Amino acid sequence: MEREILKTVMRVGKKVLPFYLFTLLLLFGSCQQGNDGKCHIEGVVNGEQYEGKRIFIVPLYGPKTAEYVDSMEITNGKFHFTKDTMQMYKILLDYHYRMNIQPLLVVSEPGTIQVVIDSVSHAVGTPQNDSLERWKERTEIHNRELAKMRKFITNLMNSNDSVQAKYIAQRADSFHLVYKTFTRQMAKNLQGTVLGDFLEQMYPLTYKRKYPDGRTVLINADTNEEIEEVKSE
């Protein structure tokens, strides 16, 4: 009986061992790919209707010419891009097929980024893209709730309930300020990175206003009030 069991284990082992070796080779290849200093974007597009369609990766800033834009056909629901410079890109389908599909921002930092393109798109796998995904999720919640508040305010105004409308508007402003603070803090934590620079531009603390008389003054971005310059004695 024991001999039969041993034979069975050996037969299974011969079949299973190549599978484990294959898996290890895949993992090793993946590690090697992620350690070559380049950004590897491995993507999936949900929806059979997109098979054979083109998907594009476009620089968020700078020229959008053929020299800087890359594209490929979606095959078996998948696509991939390799980038060797660190910057912000937008991934999006051919404009004929973008309806109900969310474009996706990614940072092309070294490593492997796992991307899903769908009605809500995602990208994870590297530090900046993981942080970008967290900010994106927070942004979607913020936009959804703020839209509800603004719709409620409009309904109140249409009902001539200006007192309640003003109260909800103040709550909406406070809600938005919390989100801006969150974004600014994340930008500060990521200072000096591509994502940090992107987030810093979202809600700067100040901006400049030019008056007809030629004066340029510094304005508080949250209060829209002029910031008085401190004169040195």
Total-model pTM: 0.77
pLDDT of the residue at 230? 59
Assess contact for 115 and 121: CB atoms under 8 A: yes
Q: Angle 191-196-202 (CA atoms, 0-180°, nearest 5)? A: 125
Edge-to-edge strands, sheet with 122-124: 78-83, 39-45, 111-117, 122-124
Query: Which residues neighbour 152 within 8 Å (Cβ) at sequence distance 6 or greater?
Result: 168
In this structure, are residues 88 and 131 in contact, taking their beta carbons and an 8 Å threshold?
no
pLDDT tens sequence across 51-104: 999 999 999 998 888 889 999 999 999 999 999 999 999 999 998 999 999 999
Stated as kind and residue range, the H or E segment containing 36 is none
Q: What's the mean pLDDT in 155-177?
A: 95
Lowest mean pLDDT among 129-143, 166-180, 185-199, 205-219: 205-219
Mean of all residue pLDDT scores within the chain: 86
150 vs 80: CA distance, rounded Å? 40
DSSP states of 140-181: HHHHHHHHHHHHHHHHHHHTT-HHHHHHHHHHHHHHHHHHHH
Q: Which of 4-8, 65-69, 169-173 shows the lowest mean pLDDT across its residues?
A: 4-8
Residue 95, SS3 per DSSP: helix
pLDDT band at residue 221 using 50, 70 and 90 as cut-offs: confident
Q: Residue 54's closest CA among 91, 106, 102, 11?
A: 91
Q: What is the number of residues in the chain? A: 233
Calculate mean pLDDT across residues 194-223: 90
Residue 166's pLDDT band, with cuts at 50, 70 and 90, is very high
